[in-house]
Structure 1
Amino acid sequence: MKGFRFGSPQGAFYILPGQDGWEATFGNETLGEFSSPQQAADDLARGLTCPHLSEVDTSTLEIPEKIGDWEIVHV
C-alpha cells in the first residue's frame, strides 16, 4: 500500500490508508478521516482545525494542495 508524506518545519504530516478511508496524522496524533488523499491534502493546506494542532496553523506551513506534490511512502 502507498501513503503520502509532507515534511514541514514543524514535523512530518502523513496521509495513510485508514479503516474507513484515509487518515491524516502529525506526530502520534490522528488529525481526521477523509474520503480521499486529495481531500486530506486540501484540508491540511487550507488550514485544518484540530484540537491536536492548537499551536499550529497548517495553512502557514506551505503544505501542497495537490497530493501529487507529496512524497509517496510505502506502508
Structure 2
Amino acid sequence: MKGFRFGSTEGAFYILPGQDGWEATYGNETLGEFATPQQAADDLARGLTCSLSEVDTSTLEIPDKLADWEIVHV
C-alpha cells in the first residue's frame, strides 16, 4: 500500500491510508481524516493548524498536487 510524504522546513507531513479513508499526519499528530489523498493535500496546502506544535501549514509551501509529494510504501 502507498502513502505520500512531503518534507517541509518544519518537518515531514504524511498522507497515509487510515481507518475510513486517508489521514494527514505531522509528527505524532493526526491533522484530520479525508475521503481522498488529494483532498488531504488540498487542505494542507490551504492551511491547517497543528494544535500540538502550533504550525500553520499554509506558511510551509506544501504542494496541493500529489505528484509533487514523495510516494512512500506502508
Instruction: Give the TM-score band, short-chain normalised.
Output: over 0.9
Q: How many residues align?
A: 74
Unaligned runs of 5+ in 1: none
Give aligned-pair identity as a percent.
85
Q: Provide the secondary structure at the position in 2 that maps to 1:59.
A: helix
TM-score normalised per structure 2: 0.94
Gaps of at least 5 residues in structure 2 are: none
The whole-number CA distance in structure 2 between the counterparts of 1:20 and 1:45 is 22
Structure 2 SS opposite 1:42: helix
Match of 1:57 in 2: 56
Please state how far the C-alpha of 1:52 moved relative to its aligned partner. Answer: 3.3
Give deviations 1:18-64, integer Å, cap 9, x for gaps. 000000000011110000000000000000144335x2110010000
Structure 1 stretches (4+) deviating beyond 4 angstroms? none
Q: Which residue of 2 aligns with 1:70?
A: 69
Scaled by the length of structure 1, what TM-score is found?
0.93
